[in-house]
Amino acid sequence: MFSRKETSYSRTHGRQSMLALALVLVLIGTGFGSLGNQATSSETPAAVVTAESATAAPGTETAPTSETTAGPSDAMVEKPSQMGRFEQLKSGLSDWFQTMRNKFVLNFIKNDRWRYLTDGLVITIEVALSAVFFGACIGFFIAIVRTTHEKRHNLGLLNSLCKIYLTVIRGTPMVVQLLIAYFVIFSQIREKILVAIIAFSLNSGAYVAEVIRSGISSIDNGQMEAGRSLGLSYLQTLRYIVLPQAVRNVLPALGNEFITLLKDTSIAGYIALPDLTKGGDIIRSQTYDAFMPFLAVAAIYLAIVILFTWLLGKLETKLNRNGAV
């Protein structure tokens, strides 16, 4: 049996254990309570408002809070209105036009850089027109020599020389011909425009010769026989009867040759000739902006080609109406 002392000790020890257990339960309850408060505070304002409105009486009104008005206003900010997009587009276009205006002033207005283009345009037109004229003369001469030899077989040497000329010119690049003319053949001539005109004329003459020869070959042999029966010589018949009809037939091809020659003059900068293209390149080297000057050069070439094409169309219409050159 236990003594009184042992019994009192066991009772005291039991009370202390109960107190410790109660303290632990209180601490655990306090911890769960704080976690519940945190979870409640982390809920969205919309959920809180919904819960309050669900518990409110049917006849009572709920005062608007800052939480209820924050949601829709944020959505309106995230989705810009149509007017806002229009303003952004207008602002972007305004900035772009301002940038283009600044580039235009820098490339053309400042320091009178537009003169590089106007002076180069004059040189380009001068070279192109001169090369077309002399190239046409060379082409007509070669075409007459070749067609005469084909019909009469009495110009063997000239025909052979013309064939060599056509083979060399048509078989080598225009840039190489220009460089050879300037640095080799005409190295003693310092007039760059003159060298360019000679080189482009020789190149154009080869192509014009074949165009004219095809036009003469397209004319019926009866035209030549009719002219000869009227007492005209071979050259007179060729000049007054055959060539006018041949030119009318090949006029579109001759116009195309002029357009090609006009664009080929853009390589004149290889011999430091300040033509239109070279003028645009000079502006680019000074402003470090290639877009605006080269765009202007392309626009000028395009305008010239469109104008010449329109004039050529008018001439063709007139010739077709009159039936002669």
149-189 pLDDT, tens per residue?
988 888 889 999 999 999 999 999 999 999 999 999 998 88
Reported as a pLDDT band with limits 50, 70 and 90, residue 17 is low
Residue with tokens 């007459």: 144
| DSSP letter (8 states) at residue 110 | G
Give the mean model confidence (pLDDT) for residues 13-18.
57
- Contact predicate 236/227, CB 8 Å: yes
pLDDT over 70 percentage in the chain: 74
Taking the C-alpha atoms of residue 212 and residue 141, their distance in angstroms, rounded to an integer, is 10
Q: Which of 134-138, 246-250, 311-315, 318-322 has the highest mean predicted lDDT (pLDDT)?
A: 134-138
Mean pLDDT of the chain: 80
pLDDT of 122 over the 90 cut: yes
97-116 pLDDT, tens per residue?
999 999 999 999 999 999 99
- Contact predicate 62/56, CB 8 Å: yes
State residue 234's pLDDT score.
85
Sign, CA dihedral 17-19-25-27, equals negative
State residue 248's pLDDT score.
87
In 3-state terms, the chain is what percent helix, strand and coil (to 5)? 85, 0, 15
Give the mean model confidence (pLDDT) for residues 11-35.
55
Task: Please indicate whether residue 13 or residue 283 has the higher confidence score (pLDDT).
Answer: 283
CA distance to 161, 180, 208, per residue, from 172 (Å): 17, 11, 16
State residue 113's pLDDT score.
93
pLDDT of 76 over the 70 cut: no
Element (H or E) spanning 186, and its range? none
Give the mean model confidence (pLDDT) for residues 240-265.
91
DSSP of 1-69: ---HHHHHHHHHHHHHHHHHHHHHHHHHHHHHHHHHHHHHHTS-HHHHHHHHHHHS-TT--PPP-HHHH
Reported as a pLDDT band with limits 50, 70 and 90, residue 134 is very high
State residue 58's pLDDT score.
46
Task: Please indicate whether residue 95 or residue 31 has the higher confidence score (pLDDT).
Answer: 95
- Contact predicate 131/200, CB 8 Å: yes
Q: Tell how far CA 69 is from the center of its chain.
A: 52
State residue 262's pLDDT score.
94
